[in-house]
Amino acid sequence: MVNASAEEPTRDLAASPLRGRHRGGRGRTAGVALAWAAAGCAVIGLAQAARAGAFDHVSLLDRAAGDGAEAAGFVLLVAAWWSRDRRWITRLLPALLLAIAGLVGVVALILWATGTVTDAYPPSFAIWVGAGFAALAGCPLVLRRRPPGPAAGRAPVWRRVAAVVAVPVTAAGAFLLIDQQYGIWPQVGDVLGHSGALDAQQAHNLIDGTATPGGRPPAQGVIADLDAPATRSHFRHRSGVVFLPPAYFGPDRATLPVLVMLVGSPGTPINWLKSGHGQSTDDAYAAAHHGRAPVLVVVDQNGSATGDTECVDSPAGNAETYLTADVPAFITGTLGVQHTSSSWGIAGFSEGGTCALDLVLGHPDIYEHAIDFGGDARPNLGGPQQTLQHLFGGSVAAQLAHDPARLLSTRHYPGVTLWFGAGADDTRGIAVGEQLSAAATRAGVVNHRFVDAGGHNWQFASAGFARVLPPLCDEMAVSRLSPAPGRPGRL
């Protein structure tokens, strides 16, 4: 009895540290769960605020923010991956990095082979994409990894947290740096589709005058979700948008100039008004000219974000007929703007620039002015045979009928004016602009060429449009405020 009673305290003392560890483990687990719950609530709250428009005007083109997010992602990756485990360092980590490098290469090859991205990739492409893949692939490895030794358990909490947080941080950094390279989404609201556009019914009410407060026109221009139906062409396309300047709601509506706007591939119609700042540029011009400015009609010539019709009638659809028959009918019918070729033009960026030039040279009776920012020398799908077959159904005659150099050498273009622009870092765009400007000059066609800061991106297109719009409006409104025929203008 004495020995048994003496053993009781001993067992209690020996068991008490174990019970303490269990209680401490449960406390830490509850704390981690509470932290994740709080983080989840914060994410949901931010998402709701974003949907409500609280962050619509937050800039996404702040270089410091992109660099900071990417740097933070790398720090988190290093923290998550840091280990003295020989097997991790010599086998698992090298295998992970090699797999990521291979995956990045495959992604680049797929984008190139499918024609989704045909321009040269920036040198940092591998870093942007690789960091995101590295965080995503490395996260489960870190969460499951157990350090070596007799006291092996899961990786420390701080390392697991770093692995999880690295995923959204590296993704955000990659998104910001890619966006800053191409300028597709200037602000958070552009990513969320908060364009501020009126829906079709609101737009029709405004056009009819039933929704104009007090009968007074708006002080600023209005974006409206109005689409040109493909009545004649039956071309399958995404909905377009229009920008109506203040004077559109007054007695000058019918005589306002018109610019049809075409984005490149990949792209969406709203890019010209937001990424290319067409809305703010047109509004600024209108403010200085009693509300008068071009009506901007942004239409889809590709059918999808990654489609590429080069604006010709092809086996993929009648894009050219859509742009030369259906769109003009929509402008004169629905919008009520009278057709005058001398005050109608087309502005395009990248593939849209190729389209703008080709459409004006092919249909000068409809459009007399072309803005070609960073376009190709002729319609192009990446290779001669592919272009001939997929765009022109194998018809060499149809292909020649859409070659700007040939058109300039065989036709006359009285009244037509052409604008060629490229970013200083867009060497191919500069060379193409020089070539086409020289061909236009030989043909006696009024043309202007300039090189501005930037690359093949929306930052350049935005600055270029702001530079071109005032003198282009002079050409549209006053017959011949332009250089003598055959002489290229330089801005």
pLDDT digits (tens, 9 = 90+) for 172-184: 888 888 878 787 8
- Rounded Cα distance between 61 and 185, Å, is 8
- Rounded Cα distance between 199 and 197, Å, is 6
- Rounded Cα distance between 87 and 91, Å, is 5
- Rounded Cα distance between 355 and 350, Å, is 9
Assign 149 a pLDDT band (cuts: 50, 70, 90).
low
pLDDT at 484: 38
- Rounded Cα distance between 435 and 38, Å, is 60
pLDDT at 472: 96
Q: Express each pLDDT in 81-133 by its tens digit.
A: 887 778 777 887 888 888 888 888 888 788 777 666 656 666 677 777 788 88
pLDDT at 316: 85
Residue 453 vs residue 24, higher pLDDT: 453
Q: Express each pLDDT in 291-341 by its tens digit.
A: 999 999 999 999 998 889 999 999 889 999 999 999 999 999 999 999 999
pLDDT at 28: 57
Residue 144 vs residue 279, higher pLDDT: 279
Mean pLDDT of 409-421: 96
* CB-based contact 274:190 (threshold 8 Å): yes
Q: C-alpha 477: how far from its chain's center? A: 32
Q: 210 pLDDT exceeds 60? A: no
Q: Express each pLDDT in 98-108 by its tens digit.
A: 888 888 888 87
Dihedral sign, CA of 247, 248, 250, 252? positive
- Rounded Cα distance between 100 and 178, Å, is 19
pLDDT at 46: 73
pLDDT at 255: 94
Residue 489 vs residue 259, higher pLDDT: 259
- Rounded Cα distance between 274 and 197, Å, is 11
- 16 token code pair: 């008490």
- 441 token code pair: 């000059």
- Rounded Cα distance between 407 and 400, Å, is 8
pTM of the predicted model as reported, rounded to 2 decimal places: 0.80
Q: 422 pLDDT exceeds 60? A: yes
Q: Express each pLDDT in 198-208 by its tens digit.
A: 887 887 787 87
- Rounded Cα distance between 471 and 448, Å, is 10
Mean pLDDT of 434-463: 95
Q: Kindly list the distances between the CA atom of residue 69 and the CA atoms of 78, 165, 166, 389, in Å, as whole numbers in the listed order.
A: 14, 12, 10, 45
pLDDT at 31: 62
- Rounded Cα distance between 220 and 135, Å, is 46
Nearest to 452 by CA among 420, 428, 424: 424
Assign 481 a pLDDT band (cuts: 50, 70, 90).
very low
pLDDT at 105: 82
Mean pLDDT of 467-473: 96
Q: 232 pLDDT exceeds 80? A: yes
Q: 373 pLDDT exceeds 90? A: yes
Dihedral sign, CA of 388, 392, 393, 395? negative
- Rounded Cα distance between 489 and 491, Å, is 7
Q: 448 pLDDT exceeds 50? A: yes
The two beta strands, 369-373 and 344-349, are parallel
Q: Is 183 left (phi over 0), alpha (psi -120 to 50) or beta?
A: left
Buried b or exposed e, range 98-121, using 16+ CB within 10 angstroms? eebeeebeeeeeebeeebeebbee
Q: 288 pLDDT exceeds 90? A: yes
pLDDT at 382: 78
* CB-based contact 295:337 (threshold 8 Å): yes
Q: Which among 13-22, 111-120, 463-472 has the top mean pLDDT?
A: 463-472
Residue type, 359: L
Q: Express each pLDDT in 32-56 by its tens digit.
A: 567 667 767 877 877 777 777 777 6
391: helix, strand or coil: helix
Q: Provide, rounded to the nearest whole percent, the portion of the chain with pLDDT above 90.
A: 45
How does DSSP assign 209-246, residue by residue? TTTSGGGPPPSS-EEE------TTT-------EEEE-G
Comparing 207-221, 225-239, 283-297, the range with the smallest average pLDDT is 207-221
Q: Which among 40-44, 133-137, 416-420 has the top mean pLDDT?
A: 416-420
Mean pLDDT of 411-437: 95
Q: 429 pLDDT exceeds 80? A: yes
Mean pLDDT of 5-30: 52
Mean pLDDT of 402-423: 96
pLDDT at 474: 92
Average pLDDT, the chain: 83
